[in-house]
Chain A
Amino acid sequence: RKSSASAPKPLFVTPPYVTAVLVKGSFAPMVQLPPHIDRDEWLAANVFDFFQFISLFYGTIAEYCTPKECPTMSAGPGVDYAWVDGQRRSNKVPAPQYIDSTTTWIQGLLDDPDVFPTKSGQPFPKDHLATVKLIFKHLFRIFAHMYHAHYDKVLHLAEEAHLNTVFAHFMCFAKEFDLLDKKETEPLRDLIAELEGMNLC
């Protein structure tokens, strides 16, 4: 075990908060590709839902995610995400700016019919899976930031069961289609282990 006795366990991996969820049973059957359905379409449909949910959640704590409170996009001790701009320059920016850039970029992809086709019969681009993976990576980071930096607000607003449910669903989906690198999920390793222990994902 890496977590030492000196670093207190965060509340989000502590009962009763960690065990609060909206559903019973595993998400596994819900995330599997339904028979005869196009895989790309299934990925797209789910990406849309997860993006919408994360935006909903972030909206509830956005007021507290300010450059002053969150000068970096942090996800626990020693984890600070840098924003890679158009010129591939890596910058440490405040979390609200990071999240705003990320969500604007994702929304742009989702609204682009060349990336997410809307007309019947129009195929997805060849790199669809890569796009979905990239989006998942960034959505994960927003989850990680909310859990690590804003969990007190989540508790005050009594939305921990909702957040856990969406996160468990998200992780279950990511696992089913191998959308997230193990390395990427480190910041929420303990939480994921707990949710797996509950057989949710």
Chain B
Amino acid sequence: MADSSTSDSHDHAADFPFERSTEGFSSATLERAATAKYKLEVFYKNLLDATLERQGRLQDLERKLAAESCSEERKNRQIQALGRKESDFLRFRRVKLGVDDFMTVKVIGKGAFGEVRLVQKRDNGRIYAMKTLRKSEMVKKDQLAHVRAERDLLAMSVDQNSPWVVQLYFSFQDPVFLYLIMEFLPGGDLMSMLIKYDTFTEDATRFYMAECIAAIESVHTLGFIHRDIKPDNLLIDQSGHLKLTDFGLATGFHATHDSAYYQRLLDSGSSGKNGSINLNPNASSRTEQVLTWRKNRRALAYSTVGTPDYIAPEVFLGTGYGKECDWWSLGAIMFECLVGYPPFCSDTPQETYRKVISWKNWLAIPEDVPLSWEAEDLIKRLLCDAPNRLGRNGAHELKQHPYFRGVNFETLRSTRPPFVPELKSITDTSYFPTDELTHISTSVGGSEDQSAEGGNAAEGIFKDLAFVGFTFRKFETIRQNIE
């Protein structure tokens, strides 16, 4: 039986060990292989989720219909309608959306990595806000975070339509930019409101803070920490209610939150004559600092450095932080709403950064600003070390604070806001600083961009991989398109 020639005829891998080697392969091929593999891994990871989500939507509807005592015929009709929506969802996924499908109405905002425009979708005339992010800028700042951010972004599409978060409908990319198509909030942002009014009344502040709490809480419930809550990220909708933006992206895309980054900022501030720091904190008076700060307010919002005015000290220190860092930001915003400038405002971001770190020496509520004791107490319970901060055990701690006595957090969104935008049309941009932004070109992805970015092949692979799977569409949009 034991015939050696028989066993020889079996071609096991062990008999012919295949020696893998990518020697002699061109870098283009290696790049394509890495991309292909990564794309497929992402696809198969998401395939199961997509299937489960679809099943979940059907089950939700079936449960809802079972609870209603409506006719079989009506139930059937609703189930068929969902089937049509799901089919349309598949259809829209096939259709390649691109920047050409949108027409720019106006540039309405500017951020660190790009700008925000009011756009109109050419085929159906719907209005959206389109945020563009320059890939190369983001890669420069931080490499791996993009993949994480992308995942966060996808996770966001599972979000049950929180009324507190700006909805993202589509996203797509070209070689130079990422595009986010979001709902347009015509009321502008809280930063612009503060620029216009300097301070709010206690009642108005109470309203915005209460809405902020609800918004932050909904973000935390989804398992996210925003880390970058600031007046520029609080947008005002058509009816005057708040929504949080930049959520999901904030965590991943912004290396500005990286403590090492701040360390560099600090170092750069302590050397060189332009960035030299002021050893005497009284060299420029409080009033002067506030004036400088006001003057630079928008410029700071547009810069890559960003403003550290609202970021919690533990985020800078890099010693670890939790959800409570968002409550610090709330405290800083509240201070600004009532006092007229943020608590640690200075001539330069470096100085602000130092003040936040040693907040104990710098936090002072000016005597000439009359504050209720409740407001003052809440501010102090938020602008303090993380272990003592109100909210570390959950948002209910804030809601129960005497400052919010009489506020019904359940019905917030149906109460009347202190300010309701007056809009002449669906494309009214009077609440945005469009005049200041007009120097920005209104074309995206122009040819100069393409050629300028195309050069560096070595960077190319990282760029592409970082954004794999970025493109997505939200199921909810399809629903909107039909209804």
Binding site for B on A (CB under 8 A): 5, 8-9, 11, 14-17, 22-23, 29-30, 34-38, 41-42, 44-45, 48-49, 53, 56-57, 59-61, 63, 110, 116-118, 120, 152, 155-159, 162, 165-166
**Contacting residues, chain B, for A30 (C-beta < 8 A):** 47-48, 51
Which 8 pairs across A and B sit closest by C-beta, in order of nearness? A36-B83, A38-B87, A56-B36, A45-B90, A157-B33, A41-B87, A60-B33, A5-B9
Q: Are B54 and A34 in contact (CB under 8 A)?
A: yes
Q: Are A17 and B481 in contact (CB under 8 A)?
A: no
Per-residue A-contact encoding for B18-59, CB less than 8 Å = 1, 0 else: 101110011011101101110111011001100100110010
Q: A9-B11, A22-B44, A36-B58 are in contact. Are A60 and B36 (CB under 8 A)?
A: yes
Q: How many residues of B contact A (CB 8 A)?
A: 45
Task: Please report the C-alpha to C-alpha distance between residue A156 and residue B90 in the assembled complex, in whole angstroms.
Answer: 36
Contact of B140 with A by CB under 8 A: no
In whole angstroms, what is the CA distance A57 to B33 when docked? Answer: 8
**CA gap between A38 and B90 in the complex, in Å:** 10
> Does A120 contact B32, Cβ atoms closer than 8 Å?
no
Chain A: CB-nearest residue to B124: A120
Q: Are A118 and B29 in contact (CB under 8 A)?
A: no
Query: Nearest residue in A to B22 (C-beta to C-beta)?
Result: A156
Q: A36-B58, A42-B90 are in contact. List 17 more A-B contacts (CB 8 A).
A: A11-B13, A34-B86, A36-B82, A38-B90, A44-B90, A44-B91, A45-B94, A56-B40, A59-B36, A60-B29, A156-B22, A157-B25, A157-B30, A158-B20, A159-B33, A162-B36, A162-B41
CA distance A162 to B20 in the complex (A): 16
Flag if A22 contacts B48 (CB, 8 Å).
Answer: no
Contacts of A156 in B (CB 8 A): 20-22, 25
Q: Which of A11, A38, A60 contacts B18 (CB 8 A)?
A: A11
Interface hub of B11, B33, B55, B79 (most chain A Cβ within 10 A): B33
Are B90 and A63 within 8 A (Cβ)?
no
CB contacts (< 8 Å) of B121 on chain A: these are none
Considering only residues 64-107 of chain B, those with a C-beta below 8 Å from chain A are: 79-80, 82-84, 86-88, 90-91, 93-95
In Å, the complex CA distance between A156 and B16 comes to 15
Tell me, in angstroms, the Cα distance from A41 to B44 when the chains sit together: 20
Contact of B51 among A5, A29, A117 (CB under 8 A): A29
Flag if A36 contacts B86 (CB, 8 Å): yes
Asked if A118 and B91 sit within 8 Å, CB to CB, the answer is yes
6 pairs of residues in contact across A and B, judged by CB atoms under 8 Å: A15-B12, A17-B13, A36-B82, A56-B36, A110-B94, A118-B94
B2 at the interface (CB under 8 A from A): no
B40 and A53 contact, CB distance less than 8 A: yes
Find out whether the CB atom of A63 lies under 8 angstroms from the CB atom of B51: no
Set of chain B residues within 8 Å of A37, measured between Cβ atoms: 83, 86-87, 90
> A38-B87, A156-B20 given as contacts; is B29 within 8 A of A56 (CB)?
no
Instruction: Name the residue of chain B whose CB is nearest to the CB of A118.
Output: B95
Whether A117 touches B91, Cβ cut-off 8 Å, given contacts A63-B28, A157-B25, is yes
